[in-house]
Structure formats: C-alpha cells, structure tokens
Amino acid sequence: MMEKAKWAAARIIFLVMALAGTATGSVAAYLLGPVYSWYLFDDVRFLKHHRLFFPIAVAFWKLVFEWVRNPEYHRMFAIPLTAPPMMGPDLSLVRVRAAWSETDGACNGCVQCCIRRSCPMLDSERNRCLSYGSFFWRYFNCGRYPESGEQIRYYDCPKWEVRGRPQSAKL
C-alpha cells in the first residue's frame, strides 16, 4: 500500500510541475531547471538540456489536446496513478514478434512512436530517446509501452505483438 501511495505522489508532483512549467511558458522550468532536468533526463545539469524545455512544453500541450480530443487515445494510454514505474512492457501481455531482428529488447532504431508523437526528446541522429531511464520514462507511457494491441496498432509498431496469438499473426 505504501508503494502505491509513493508512486501516486511521485506522479502527482511531476504532473503539477509539468503544468506549472507549461503554464508559465517554461519560465518555471528555467527557475527549477535542475529539478525538471532530473525528472526528464535523469541529469541535474540543466544547461545541457535547456534548449529542449520549450519544445517539451509544446509537446505536453499537444498530448493534453490529444487526450481531450480523442477519448480512444485517452483510454488506450491512461495510467493509474498507483501503477508501478516500469523500464519495459509487461511481457505477460506482449512479446517481440518472431520476425523482429533484435531479441534483446532493443527497438533497433525503430522510433515510430516517437516520430508520431513528434517527441522533442528523440535524438534523431542516434535514433534514441534522450529521456531513456529517467523518472519520466519509467513513470509514464514510454517505459511501459506497449500494453495492448490497440497501442501497437495506433503506432503501427513492427516489433511487438499481443501474447496469446501465433507469432505469425498480424495485429
């Protein structure tokens, strides 16, 4: 029970800070730069990441509008406040497709989900997330993606499939 309360409190604090940062046009993000930098990049060196704070605020508002505009998206990606942080999908729900060339869990340069979201934390030169492993990654959708066939279809993900179907089945 205490773990769930801790996870909920951590998410609520982050969401309040995200709202404060975006509502102030990233001014709060600059004033509390090292804290925001730790949340998003697992690194308190704010100046290293400051150029991303305004694009992150824009991406946040796009996500909020998508949640409001598209109830299906909201339902598909809603995370309970008490859900545990994760560094990968729940492998009891999904598995890597047999045709996927990398079986070690790496996305092997596939960044369709990041591109579709226009995520400013995508390092397009290296095809990797600048936020990988951070609080944001673990506590929100990135670290637990995918959780369902709907998510896999939404992002047209070539790596994952829902468990319980034959490896050759297409979602």
The 10s digit of each residue's pLDDT in 65-74 is 998 999 998 8
Residue 117 banded pLDDT, cuts 50, 70, 90: confident
Q: Which residue has the tokens 């709202």?
A: 19
User: For residue 105, is it left (φ>0), alpha (ψ between -120 and 50) or beta?
Assistant: left
Please state, as a whole number, how many other Cβ atoms lie within 10 Å of the Cβ of residue 155.
Answer: 19
* Structure confidence by residue, pLDDT tens digits, 46-60: 999 989 988 988 898
Residue 169 banded pLDDT, cuts 50, 70, 90: very low
Q: Are 120 and 62 within 8 A, CB to CB?
A: no
Model confidence at 139: pLDDT above 90: yes
Model confidence at 12: pLDDT above 50: yes
Per-residue DSSP letter, 59: H
Per-residue pLDDT at 116: 86
The residue-averaged pLDDT of 17-26 equals: 85
- Using only the alpha carbons of the chain, give its radius of gyration: 17
Residue 104 banded pLDDT, cuts 50, 70, 90: low
